[in-house]
């Protein structure tokens, strides 16, 4: 069964978001778009927190987060307990954030990478799975931290 996908973006990521939604829908993923749609300036911080809340509340889902660099929205999403968002720009990293870090959100910089690259990164993320083993304890350490 395919995971449900929540996607969000600030004003910089509208075009990339639309391409990802179209791509994932064509692959029969159920996609919920929480992102900015009109390109008017908005806060990556509130978009990231809102996305994080959705991810934390649904254990059978994964998320896609987009802002100009991908950094701000991933910092915000990672403030929500249970969220592990990883910022990627290479295919191997997109795979490893699932395999090693059990990331449930992939973050990308809409001003940093091309749309066709973003589709490939999302694809690599979704095709990968947590490898468990030695990674289990490390992810558990993060999950159990209460700062």
Catalytic residue status for 67: yes
Beta sheet of 61-67, edge-to-edge order: 31-33, 4-9, 61-67, 105-109, 85-87
List beta partners, residue 86.
106
Binding string to ligand RB5 for residues 8 to 27, with x set by CB under 6 A, is what? --x-x---------------
Residue pair 67/11 in contact (Cβ under 8 Å)? The answer is no
Which region among 24-32, 69-77, 99-107, 118-126 touches ligand RB5 (by CB under 6 A)? 69-77
Q: How far is CA 55 from the centre of its chain?
A: 9
Task: CB nearer to ligand RB5: give 25 or 46.
Answer: 46
Residue pair 107/79 in contact (Cβ under 8 Å)? The answer is no
Q: Is 61 in the site for ligand RB5 (CB under 6 A)?
A: no
From 100, 103, 132, 146, active-site residue: 100
Residues that bind ligand RB5 (CB under 6 A): 10, 12, 44, 67-69, 71-72
- Active-site residue list: 67, 100
């Amino acid at each position: 069964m395919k995971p449900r996908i929540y996607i969000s973006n600030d004003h910089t990521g509208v075009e990339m978001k639309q391409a990802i939604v179209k791509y994932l829908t064509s692959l029969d993923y159920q996609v919920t778009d929480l992102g900015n749609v009109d390109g008017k300036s908005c806060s990556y911080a509130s978009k990231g927190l809102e996305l994080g809340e959705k991810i934390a509340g649904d254990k059978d889902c994964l998320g896609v987060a987009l802002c100009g660099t991908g950094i701000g929205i991933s910092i915000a999403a990672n403030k929500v307990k249970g969220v592990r968002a990883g910022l990627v720009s290479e295919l191997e990293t997109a795979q490893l954030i699932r395999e090693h870090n059990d990331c449930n959100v992939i973050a990308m910089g809409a001003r940093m990478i091309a749309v066709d690259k973003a589709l490939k990164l999302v694809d690599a993320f979704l095709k990968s799975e947590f490898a468990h083993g030695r990674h289990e304890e490390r992810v558990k350490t993060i999950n159990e931290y209460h700062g």
